[in-house]
């Protein structure tokens, strides 16, 4: 109707001549513009107003208690921290994948809590998926660690032969990366050598005349050597000597032995070999292990640089022994944590894939090799390190070390004749079945 009236008015004005049209044109333009606005407004007002805002995805979140535990542990999972911009938490549904293998172990359910019991040890990646009422989903994962029984000092774990990438491009003296093949399987101590273990063999070696001792130090007495082995006066040393008897401070029996230099660590391997009726591997005049070929040694020895890192990263190139999760005080006794060595095995959340404890933190660990920081990029087979040097390799960081030194590829050089309050070791042995 409005359009018809406007058309007729415009026709009459045009019939009266150009002058009349010219005078009235501004008014007509205004009327037409007003009418157009009304028409547009009416059109928009009558349009289908069914456009919906896009649905926003939920956010999946959950906690686990405890973060680690032995096989008998029933882990408790709580997804009540999940949320959605439009739906209440009560309206969300969840489902769980206990091993992150792509197979959901539960159906969709509004119940946000669950429990699970594992039948095998090792790190387990748990996946949670959350769904809102519109069908949008979100996933998240967390890692729990299932351990065996409490570790027993002296236990050794078999490490299969294989190859790996030594170095990670980031760690201290781990910037170079090279492919390494280890031809022989080997055993490695599950834990660092404890005060009690070291004390017992000190006493045996003293009784056998293999060492000399005072209240402040222990020295070698094999192959004409008088090398210092142990500083008994060090601040974190918990072994004492008096009247021909070694003793451990009460409550520190299962703490890692410290203030043992490289020679004292190598000598311990020889004492253990001789105590078990085996020929020792170290020549105490040159301190070569099996004539410079540790991989074919039969008895106890220190792990090589490559063996230590291979065992720590086994077998996926992980950053830390437990995986790629960040360094923190639940997994290792590193800087800012206890401030002193803890009993071995006190950090089960940091256990490695093969079951080794404390390969990061607590005390750093002597290796057999002389240290060279830049390993190069050429592939190597059973590497033994340089023939000589200023320092021996240590791995794993300690209760004083930050991440750069604590990564599995981190390598530091320390003087083999010095005793450190934050240094210890674990033992190795080539697979006896190879002989």
In this prediction, residue 208 carries a pLDDT of: 98
Look at 151-155, 211-215, 232-236, 397-401 and tell me which has the smallest mean pLDDT.
151-155
In this prediction, residue 148 carries a pLDDT of: 64
pLDDT surpassing 80 at residue 14: no
Residue pair 354/367 in contact (Cβ under 8 Å)? The answer is no
In this prediction, residue 394 carries a pLDDT of: 98
Residue entry with tokens 């005793």? 419
The backbone torsions φ and ψ at residue 188, rounded to the nearest 5 degrees and listed phi first, read -135, 140
Over pLDDT 90: what percentage of the chain?
77
What does the alpha-carbon distance between residue 230 and residue 259 come to, in Å, rounded to a whole number?
6
| Domain 63-147, CATH class in plain words | mainly beta
**What is the reported pTM?**
0.69
Tokens linked to 120: 């095998």
In this prediction, residue 322 carries a pLDDT of: 93
- The model's pLDDT over 297-331, given as tens digits with 9 standing for 90+, comes to 999 999 999 999 999 999 899 999 999 999 999 99
In this prediction, residue 397 carries a pLDDT of: 94
pLDDT surpassing 60 at residue 26: no
pLDDT surpassing 60 at residue 21: no
First to last CA, the chain: 108
What is the pLDDT averaged over residues 28-32? 39
The backbone torsions φ and ψ at residue 124, rounded to the nearest 5 degrees and listed phi first, read -125, 125
Domain boundaries, the chain: 63-147, 156-434
What does the alpha-carbon distance between residue 241 and residue 333 come to, in Å, rounded to a whole number?
28
In this prediction, residue 53 carries a pLDDT of: 75
- The model's pLDDT over 170-196, given as tens digits with 9 standing for 90+, comes to 999 999 999 999 999 999 999 999 999
What does the alpha-carbon distance between residue 366 and residue 301 come to, in Å, rounded to a whole number?
11
Architecture of domain 156-434: Alpha-Beta Complex (3.90)
Bridge partner list, 395: 365, 411
In this prediction, residue 87 carries a pLDDT of: 95
In this prediction, residue 51 carries a pLDDT of: 54
383 pLDDT band (50/70/90 cuts)? very high
- The model's pLDDT over 246-281, given as tens digits with 9 standing for 90+, comes to 999 999 999 999 999 999 999 999 999 999 999 999
In this prediction, residue 52 carries a pLDDT of: 63
């Amino acid at each position: 109707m409005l359009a018809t009236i406007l058309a007729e008015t415009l026709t009459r004005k045009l019939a009266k001549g150009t002058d009349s049209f010219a005078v009235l044109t501004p008014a007509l333009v205004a009327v037409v513009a007003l009418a157009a606005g009304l028409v547009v407004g009416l059109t928009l007002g009558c349009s289908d107003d069914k456009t919906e805002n896009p649905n926003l995805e939920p956010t999946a979140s959950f906690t686990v208690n405890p973060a680690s535990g032995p096989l008998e542990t029933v882990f408790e999972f709580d997804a009540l921290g999940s949320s959605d911009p439009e739906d209440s938490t009560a309206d969300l549904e969840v489902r769980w994948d206990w091993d992150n293998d792509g197979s959901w172990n539960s159906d969709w359910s509004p119940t946000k809590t669950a429990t699970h019991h594992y039948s095998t040890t090792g790190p387990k990646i748990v996946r949670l998926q959350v769904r809102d009422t519109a069908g949008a989903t979100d996933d998240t994962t967390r890692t729990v660690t299932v351990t065996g029984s409490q570790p027993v000092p002296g236990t050794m774990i078999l490490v299969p032969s294989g190859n790996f990438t030594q170095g990670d491009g980031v760690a201290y003296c781990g910037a170079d990366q090279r492919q390494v093949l280890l031809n022989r399987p080997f055993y490695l101590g599950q834990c660092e050598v404890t005060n009690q273990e070291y004390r017992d063999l000190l006493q045996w070696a003293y009784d056998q005349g293999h060492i000399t001792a005072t209240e402040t130090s222990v020295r070698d007495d094999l192959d004409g050597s008088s090398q210092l082995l142990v500083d008994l006066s060090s601040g974190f040393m918990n072994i004492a000597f008096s009247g021909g008897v070694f003793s451990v401070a009460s409550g520190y029996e299962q703490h890692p032995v410290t203030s043992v230099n490289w020679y004292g660590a190598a000598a311990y391997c020889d004492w253990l070999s001789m105590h078990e009726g085996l020929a020792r591997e170290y020549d105490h005049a040159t301190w070569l292990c099996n004539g410079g070929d540790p991989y074919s040694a039969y008895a106890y020895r220190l792990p090589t640089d490559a063996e230590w890192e291979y065992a720590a990263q086994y077998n996926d190139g992980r950053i830390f022994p437990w995986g790629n999760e960040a360094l923190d005080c639940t997994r290792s006794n590193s800087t800012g944590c206890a401030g002193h060595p803890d009993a071995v095995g006190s950090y089960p959340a940091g256990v490695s894939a093969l079951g080794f404890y404390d390969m990061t933190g607590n005390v750093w660990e002597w290796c057999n090799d002389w240290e060279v920081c830049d390993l190069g990029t050429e592939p190597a087979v059973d590497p033994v390190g340089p023939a000589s040097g200023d320092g021996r390799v240590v791995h794993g960081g300690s209760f004083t070390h930050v991440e750069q030194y604590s990564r599995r590829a981190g390598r530091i050089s320390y003087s083999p004749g010095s005793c450190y309050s934050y240094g210890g070791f674990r033992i190795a042995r080539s697979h006896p079945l190879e002989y």
